Amino acid sequence: MKLLLDTHIWLWSMLDRTQLANNVAAALKSDKNELWLSPITLWEVLVLAEKGRISLAVPPHEWITQALSATPIQEAPLTSDVALETARFQLPRGDPADRFLVATARVFGLTLVTADHQLIMAKASPTLANR
User: In this predicted model, what pLDDT tens digit does every residue of 93-116 receive, in sequence order?
Assistant: 889 999 999 999 999 999 999 999
Full-model pTM: 0.96
Q: What is the pLDDT of residues 23-62, one digit of tens each?
A: 999 999 999 999 999 999 999 999 999 999 999 999 999 9
Distances (CA, A) of 121 to 19, 86, 110: 20, 17, 17
Q: What is the pLDDT of residues 1-15, one digit of tens each?
A: 999 999 999 999 999
* Class of domain 2-129 (CATH, top level): alpha beta
Domain spans of the chain? 2-129
Looking at residue 4, its pLDDT comes to: 98
SS3 21: coil
